[in-house]
A = this chain, B = another copy of it.
Amino acid sequence: MKNLFAGLPDDQTQEHFQEFLALPGAKLERIVSYGQSTPEGEWYDQDWGEWVMVLQGEAGLLLEQDHTLIHMKPGDQYFLPANCRHRVEWTLEEQPTIWLALHLKAD
């Protein structure tokens, strides 16, 4: 996967998680969303830090703590420390939303 905007998956009925670089302390992943969101009532709660950025499209990232809803547009980035409970409230339905996610090993 040389280019992160290219080769988007055809199947738009689900989100696609594609890890493209795995190193001892970190891994990089492209996530392509076609209007999906985290299932109702579910939260991501991870033992590792995750940095995310939106490359294309838009999304709503909700943090459980203080109920902050972050509207993410292309170029927007945010760091989620380990155990920062969060969910994706929505992604654009009109076009793919492409995320770049960096997962960092817990120390």
Q: Classify the secondary structure of A's interface with B.
A: strand
In the complex, which residue of chain B has the Cβ closest to the Cβ of A98? Answer: B75
**Which residues of B have CB within 8 Å of A25?**
25-26, 104-105, 107
- Spot the interface stretch: A1-9, A35-43, A58-66, A89-97: A1-9
Query: Would you list which residues of chain A between 49 and 85 have a CB under 8 Å from chain B?
Result: 49, 51, 53, 55, 73-79
Q: Give chain A's interface residue range (CB within 8 Å of chain B).
A: 20 to 34
Copies in the complex: 2
Closest Cβ–Cβ distance, residue A8 to chain B (whole Å): 11
Name the contact of A102 in the complex, choosing from B26, B74, B79 (C-beta under 8 A): B26
Name the contact of A49 in the complex, choosing from B5, B23, B77 (C-beta under 8 A): B23
Closest Cβ–Cβ distance, residue A6 to chain B (whole Å): 7
Bound: A28/B20 CA distance, A: 18
In the complex, which residue of chain B has the Cβ closest to the Cβ of A74? Answer: B5
Nearest first, the 6 A-B pairs at minimum CB distance are A5-B75, A3-B75, A25-B25, A4-B75, A24-B107, A3-B76
